[in-house]
Structure 1
């Protein structure tokens, strides 16, 4: 087996997360995958995969080698596509990771415009909280809200997003509008158990941040359900401003405690390979960046 094919095999193992899944992805036998990885480890004199009862995971050396493999394979694909003129019309599937509710509140109109401009590209979106592993999760571009680690790849700043506390006008008419975070003790709240959500709300004060644990009238497993409950007047709800943008714009929800909200969070598009990225990635970054920077969700 050629070294190029070995890199394809190892990149597939890194992407799929298991030898069996890589075998299915490449239409090879699991035995062939195992022999190829063993050959690589012997030639490199290093352990690339750590075997355990739950399957395999990349060793530190394997993680570095997988990144190098992906870069070489992508460069080869780019060269071939350029030679055949494919870059003049970007094509293929673009995998984009988004925070919860970012798709329907912000992203979809921009995505539809991009697909209209580049009809040979197909788009797959997935929800992902925090900063995803682009290589391991086979993600081309991720929209991330929050601070980035140093290893997050190439990043394009878009602006900031802010947390808000909001409620329906009917709820505020009945229960009153809280003036300070301490007033929350006399209020009902809607909480969510969605990934990444905290049941303690952070506010800014004269002596630094302070945490308030509201009493829930309802706990929802999804952000969408919690937002709907808040619009129906069940209680106060805390979220990022973009997550309830439509409801805030339409007046179904109103913000409170604006002077106490915690610091704004940076928003970035992150991607791999920089200028060596596939045409569909580069065109998407160039197309979406100015539209996202101008979006009110990141400039409020």
Structure 2
């Protein structure tokens, strides 16, 4: 059994979504491909794929094995490029993920600039307001907003973002501006559930941190919907400052309770730290890191009044 061929086949099956699609992609008879996958599973003495007539998915063992296969095959490709003198030209595919609004406002322009400079690199950009697992979802780089748990991932800080409470001037004229967090009990609130609980918002930090009960008249799963509702006078919302920077500058929204804000959340670039670092990934990190730092002004992380 050719192990490298078997690794390439199982990766192709996963990327294609089915055995038949991988067969067409590789130009290999379906029976041959299916036999080689079965031989690999027999050699490993474990099942890598759950196969049904409608769906193909990885087992838990399969997920970790395919991730390792990707790394091994990529390292071999890098070694071959180095040996043939092609290593000086970054090329290949990259998968990048970022939060939806931050990605649209800041990552997309930088990625577009990167693509223009590196014509032999293609990028798959996944914008999602959830934690995307790099290894399981085959992502090379993540922009992550928030404190990072201990892990084997390599993180590079690129800035910090405030969490702000804001509302439209029209809403505040009618309902009054809260002077302290506890005043929120009598206010109408809009909660973006990706950032806060719909029942309580937290203020301060360390020993002064407190959870303040609120009444969420509207709960939404996107920051953009919460912001739009706040602009239309539906209540106070809490989001990240970069998400409302433009409405605040145009006075469509006004920030309140700024002296009670918790510590800003760090913004980081994450990758798995594989060794050697693929040239395409090194090129991307070197390119985007200073540009994303430049796109996060000090005001995004500055606590007014402190």
TM-score, normalised on structure 2?
0.81
Q: Which residue of 1 aligns with 2:286?
A: 286
Task: Choose 158-167 or 282-291, whichever is displaced more.
Answer: 158-167
Deviations 1:58-98 (A, max 9, x none): 334x3443232111100111123334444433233332111
C-alpha change, 1:289 and 1:37, in structure 2 (3 Å) is same
Map 1:106-255 → 2, pairs under 5 A: 106-151=106-151, 153-192=153-192, 198-204=197-203, 208-216=209-217, 218-220=218-220, 222-255=222-255
Q: Which residue of 2 aligns with 1:57?
A: 58
CA distance in 1, matches of 2:23, 2:244: 43
Deviations 1:226-250 (A, max 9, x none): 2122123332111122222322333
Contact 1:168–1:230 under 8 Å retained in 2: yes
How far did residue 285 of structure 1 move? Answer: 0.5
Contact 1:94–1:123 under 8 Å retained in 2: yes
| Structure 2 SS opposite 1:276 | coil
Contact 1:12–1:22 under 8 Å retained in 2: yes
CA distance in 1, matches of 2:242, 2:30: 45
C-alpha change, 1:99 and 1:28, in structure 2 (3 Å) is farther
Contact 1:100–1:128 under 8 Å retained in 2: yes
Contact 2:181–2:203 under 8 Å retained in 1: no
CA distance in 2, matches of 1:265, 1:14: 35
| Structure 2 SS opposite 1:199 | coil
| Structure 2 SS opposite 1:139 | coil
Q: Which residue of 2 aligns with 1:90?
A: 90
C-alpha change, 1:270 and 1:15, in structure 2 (3 Å) is farther
C-alpha change, 1:238 and 1:247, in structure 2 (3 Å) is same
RMSD of the alignment, in Å?
3.1
C-alpha change, 1:278 and 1:212, in structure 2 (3 Å) is same
How far did residue 108 of structure 1 move? Answer: 2.8
CA distance in 2, matches of 1:9, 1:238: 47
Task: Choose 84-93 or 47-56, whichever is displaced more.
Answer: 47-56
TM-score, normalised on structure 1?
0.83
How far did residue 288 of structure 1 move? Answer: 1.3
CA distance in 2, matches of 1:147, 1:256: 24
| Structure 2 SS opposite 1:274 | coil
Deviations 1:141-161 (A, max 9, x none): 111122334446332222332
C-alpha change, 1:200 and 1:173, in structure 2 (3 Å) is same
Q: Which residue of 2 aligns with 1:44?
A: 44
| Structure 1 SS opposite 2:211 | strand
- Where structure 1 has 5 or more consecutive residues not aligned to the other structure, the ranges are none
Contact 1:14–1:136 under 8 Å retained in 2: no
Task: Choose 19-28 or 156-165, whichever is displaced more.
Answer: 19-28
- Where structure 2 has 5 or more consecutive residues not aligned to the other structure, the ranges are none
Count of matched residue pairs: 297
